[in-house]
Amino acid sequence: MRHVKKRIFAKKYFLKKNTLYVLLSLASILCISMYFLSEKKAQPLRKLPYFNPKNYGNKKANTPHSIPPFSFINQYNHTVTEKNTQQKIYVVDFFFTTCQSICPIMSTQMERVYQAYKNKPDFLIISHTVNPETDSVPQLLSYAKKHGVIDSTWLFVTGDKKQLYRMAREGYLLNAEEGDGGKDDFIHTQNFALIDKEKHIRGFYDGTDSTDVTRLLKDIEILFNERASTK
């Protein structure tokens, strides 16, 4: 009888001990799982690349390209400088209002971007004319209204041709052709560029390709999530 009681006691002790081990193991697994889930939630699914062209100025190879200062006039006759882009994610393109080929397609695609993010205060679109001789402030305002723009989320800018062309080529890297912005110089590019809040280029997109503009919309969201995860 005594041996039977000992066996029962040993069995209960063994079960109690094993139960404790199982509970401890489950608790450890739960803690580890919660840690990895929190880490995964804190980090974006992926980050967008930084663009740093070779032989650009005297920058080091591992330094991202930064957008230089600029000064233009928008459709409301207000001066627009790099200060307007501070702490904003923004998209840029180059067009002209009388264009009958790629520009209408580009502007229609940019409308998608505008409609998706027009209510975000830290987002901006800047469309630069490549024909400032024709695209006056009233002309840009008329063009903006044609595309449903009634606020300052999407700016259409004009200014000095040399500076506009310099920004297209050296600032936003949207045109690789050589030129000085002179009388006979002309830029006609369908590309959009995505710029982050630190003035770094994070993506290039074909503004005439709806699939590529869909990629741009997704990348803007990635960039916002990337920014939020670093705070």
Which segments of the chain does DSSP mark as H helices, in order?
Answer: 2-42, 102-117, 137-146, 161-166, 210-229
Q: Give the C-alpha distances (Å, rounded to integers) separating 66 from 92, 119, 133, 213.
A: 14, 26, 28, 23
**What residues does 123 pair with on adjacent strands?**
89
CA atoms within 13 Å, Cβ hemisphere of 199: 14
Per CATH, is 71-229 categorized as 3.40.30.10?
yes
Tokens of 66: 């930064």
In terms of pLDDT, which residue wins out, 38 or 71?
A: 71
4-8, 27-31, 182-186: range with lowest mean pLDDT:
4-8
In terms of pLDDT, which residue wins out, 87 or 37?
A: 87
Look at residue 27 and tell me whether its pLDDT is greater than 90: no
Mean predicted confidence (pLDDT) in 54-63: 54
Look at residue 23 and tell me whether its pLDDT is greater than 60: no
Supply the pLDDT for residue 24. 54
Look at residue 208 and tell me whether its pLDDT is greater than 80: yes
Torsion sign (Cα): 86, 180, 107, 135: positive
Task: Give residue-wise pLDDT tens across range 125-182.
Answer: 999 999 999 999 999 999 999 999 999 999 999 999 999 999 999 999 999 888 988 9
pTM over 0.85: no
Average pLDDT, the chain: 85
Supply the pLDDT for residue 36. 52
Supply the pLDDT for residue 189. 96
Supply the pLDDT for residue 180. 86
Supply the pLDDT for residue 57. 47
Supply the pLDDT for residue 94. 98
Tokens of 83: 């200060």
Torsion sign (Cα): 8, 13, 14, 19: positive
Supply the pLDDT for residue 127. 98
Ordered by start, the domain boundaries in the chain are 1-42, 71-229
